């Protein structure tokens, strides 16, 4: 059953990515898909976050290559599983990864998108998504405000929804400008695993 559910979620995530407007061919803006919003009744289960990251990287790889963007992962081995809704985590990763790709695209140069996972000293799962794009506006926190967008076709919903999802699991989602170029978004997820 878990394998079928995972395959179904991957197919669902793929259909949402394939509808992104900047992606090949005919993609629609991932933030304007009204059906791809936080679910009212999440289906929580033990989730391997590294597996979700690998799925999303696989789904995004052709789009990244098309835009001369390298996606790198640094995934901690033996990362504990978390209790979460897999589709919601896919949504968060998709929003962060597509925003990073769009930000890199704004600088009109090849760039890097890096997704890292690790276990912090408190035993929580710490995730970061970094890009070498245009960075955050001076008031970086405003990117999480509903309807705030820097994109001509954006709705300003993706980061707001992502933050709500992560906060529902007790972790913060924060974004900071990188010292050199781009931005890094980080969040934590609690793990009950030893």
Say what the pTM is. 0.75
Structure tokens of 76? 């901690």
CATH architecture of 2-22+44-189: 2-Layer Sandwich (3.30)
Query: How far, rounded to the nearest angstrom, does the alpha carbon of residue 109 sit from its chain's CA centroid?
Result: 21
Contact 189, 171 (CB under 8 A): yes
pLDDT over 90 (residue 193): no
Burial class (CB in 10 A: 0-12, 13-18, 19+), 12: middle
Domain ranges of the chain: 2-22+44-189
CA atoms within 13 A on the CB side of 66: 11
Confidence of residue 77 (pLDDT cuts 50, 70, 90): very high
More confident residue, 179 or 35: 179
Instruction: For strands 44-47 and 69-75, give the pairing.
Output: unpaired
Q: Is the dihedral of CA 7, 10, 14, 15 positive or negative?
A: positive
pLDDT digits (tens, 9 = 90+) for 35-63: 344 445 678 899 999 999 999 999 999 98
Spatial separation of the C-alpha atoms in residues 100 and 154, rounded to whole Å = 14
* Res 113: pLDDT: 96
Spatial separation of the C-alpha atoms in residues 21 and 28, rounded to whole Å = 3
Specify the DSSP element, H or E, that contains 93.
helix 86-106
């Amino acid at each position: 059953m878990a394998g079928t559910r995972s395959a179904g979620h991957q197919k669902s995530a793929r259909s949402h990515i394939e509808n992104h407007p900047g992606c090949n061919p005919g993609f629609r803006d991932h933030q304007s898909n009204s059906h791809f919003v936080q679910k009212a009744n999440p289906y929580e289960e033990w989730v391997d976050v590294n597996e979700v990251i690998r799925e999303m990287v696989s789904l995004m790889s052709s789009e990244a290559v098309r835009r001369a963007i390298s996606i790198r992962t640094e995934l901690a081995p033996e990362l504990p599983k978390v209790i979460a809704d897999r589709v919601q985590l896919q949504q968060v990763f998709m929003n962060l990864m597509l925003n990073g790709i769009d930000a890199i695209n704004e600088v009109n140069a090849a760039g890097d998108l890096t997704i890292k996972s690790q276990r912090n000293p408190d035993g929580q799962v710490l995730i970061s998504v970094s890009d070498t794009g245009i960075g955050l506006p001076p008031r970086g926190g405003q990117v999480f405000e509903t309807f705030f967008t820097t994109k001509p076709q954006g709705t300003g919903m993706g980061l707001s929804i992502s933050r709500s999802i992560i906060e529902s699991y007790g972790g913060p989602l924060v974004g900071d400008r990188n010292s050199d170029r781009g931005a890094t978004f980080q969040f934590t997820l609690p793990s009950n695993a030893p």
